[in-house]
Amino acid sequence: MSSVKVGLLGLGTVGAGTVNLLERNNDEIARRAGRGIEVVVAATRHPERPRGCSTADIRVTSDPFEVVDDPETEIVIELIGGYEPARELVLRAIDNGKHVVTANKALIAKYGNEIFERARAQGVSVSFEAAVAGGIPIIKSIREGLTGNRIEWLAGIINGTANFILSEMFYAGREFGDVLSEAQRLGYAEADPSFDIEGVDAAHKLTILASIAFGIPLQFDKIHVEGIGHVTREDVAYAEQMGYRIKHLGIARQSEEGVELRVHPTLLPERQLLANVDGVMNAVMVMGDAVGPTLYYGAGAGAEPTASAVVADLVDVVRSMNVEPDHRVPHLAFQSSALSDAPVLTMASVETAYYLRLEVADQPGVLADITRILGDHGISIEAILQKEPAPGADTVPVILLTHRVFERQMDEAQARMEALEAVQGRVTRIRCENLQ
């Protein structure tokens, strides 16, 4: 049987990795897919530049529409990233009757509902394994491997850059800005690194994971997003003294009341497996009612890890080309007509424990005032740590760990603590989870 012809949008790191992988493992891929898979046309903004792969057998163009309109191809791989022109190109490929494989988390998180609807109408598939956690087959695991379970929650380290920065702050005591520059130099960070630092990249990925876990529409705009910009080296060290590690997590949980969708720095007990995922590695923990906790770990970015996911999608598409569209695995794991309208809960009704750090005047009665306020709001203290003042300073840091409370209780208590004359500036507050 002739090989399947593929068009490629983007010949950067992942594009070159995909071409190399298809070439290197050509035989095994064909034995798995039943047909060979061949990139015949690729678009890149700079066709003249040297590439990380051979393009001898590929027609290279600077016009991406030449790829999506090419009559010879049956699949388009979109690896250009961002919202536009990726959205326009993907919709046009679908309208041309082509299947799409994409690594574009931003595109799927924001426009996935529209894109999947168009794909269903055209009887083609859109695959996006590479959009979340790079080479980890997390989409496939949740969408197919755990399909017998009611997923209760999932929590993941899904941004390698943020994890690299927090790991360096922990192990080497380095400052945030210094580590970020290194992450950019090493090529981990997004084109706009604020997406990594401010949690937007993780929110894109969590949007996708939550939808396939709970069968809800993609709702990127409803996620609570916090980055790692306010986490200091001191917080990392104090957390360690109390037996915790700080990780940037995406957390989705469903309950009778609705769905929690949140991305934020989180204290995890140091014995937790997720707390020990370091550097640029990603990991996602998924709790199913039948299977219990499961953990998926691997490289969340990079040329060949991401290409591994792209090629897995290509093989899936080729295997299911002759399958009736209604009999394919649904894009969001649940039948599109059976998506749930469970509400996304506000943060005020989310329950977590807290790490608090206050800079307070070194005078009698201050701790009593703070603990009274917490008590007034029904907040129980689990641990407390007071450090001696730095040389020449007249304030001291006080660190508290609380039991679980609703966020609205903590909001009220925090406002009252910050109004105390003895409390300097804002209270630093980081949520704690034990993921039991």
Catalog residues that contact ligand HSE under the rule CB under 6 A.
134, 159-161, 188-190, 196, 201, 300-301
- Please list the helix, strand and coil fractions of the chain in percent, rounded to the nearest 5, in that order: 40, 25, 35
CA–chain centroid gap for 112, Å, is 16
User: Which pair of tokens denotes residue 432?
Assistant: 């704690």
* Shortest distance, position 435 Cβ to ligand HSE, whole Å: 21
Report the alpha-carbon distance of residue 283 to residue 323 in Å, rounded.
33
DSSP secondary structure, 370-436, as one string: HHHHHHHTTPPEEEEEEPPPPTT-SEEEEEEEE--EEHHHHHHHHHHHHTSTTEEEEEEEEEE----
* Shortest distance, position 188 Cβ to ligand HSE, whole Å: 5
Nearer to ligand HSE, 127 or 428 (CB): 127
* Shortest distance, position 147 Cβ to ligand HSE, whole Å: 25
Report the alpha-carbon distance of residue 85 to residue 83 in Å, rounded.
6
Of 98, 105, 110, 205, the catalytic one is 205
Name every residue whose Cβ is closer than 8 Å to that of residue 244 and which is 6 or more positions away in sequence: 267, 268, 269, 270, 275, 355, 432
Nearer to ligand HSE, 138 or 401 (CB): 138
Choose among 367, 365, 364, 356: nearest CA to 432. 356
Nearer to ligand HSE, 208 or 400 (CB): 208
The residues facing 261 across adjacent strands are 252
| Residue bearing tokens 């190109």 | 89
* Shortest distance, position 100 Cβ to ligand HSE, whole Å: 18
* Shortest distance, position 22 Cβ to ligand HSE, whole Å: 21
Nearer to ligand HSE, 104 or 414 (CB): 104
For residue 222, give the 3-state DSSP assignment.
Answer: helix
110 carries an active-site annotation: no
Nearer to ligand HSE, 17 or 134 (CB): 134
Name the H helices within 173-199.
Answer: 176-185, 194-197
Nearer to ligand HSE, 263 or 398 (CB): 263
Q: Decide: 229 and 198 in contact? Cβ < 8 Å.
A: yes
CA–chain centroid gap for 94, Å, is 26
* Shortest distance, position 164 Cβ to ligand HSE, whole Å: 8
Nearer to ligand HSE, 112 or 397 (CB): 112
Report the alpha-carbon distance of residue 406 to residue 20 in Å, rounded.
50
Nearer to ligand HSE, 33 or 162 (CB): 162
User: Residue 184 class from Cβ within 10 Å (0-12 exposed, 13-18 middle, 19+ buried)?
Assistant: middle
* Shortest distance, position 334 Cβ to ligand HSE, whole Å: 25
CB atoms within 10 A of CB 51: 18
* Shortest distance, position 159 Cβ to ligand HSE, whole Å: 4
User: For the chain, give me the number of helices (H) and strands (E)?
Assistant: 14, 17
Report the alpha-carbon distance of residue 128 to residue 100 in Å, rounded.
9
Helices 200-214 and 105-122, packing angle to 10 deg = 40
**Would you name the residues annotated as active-site residues?**
205
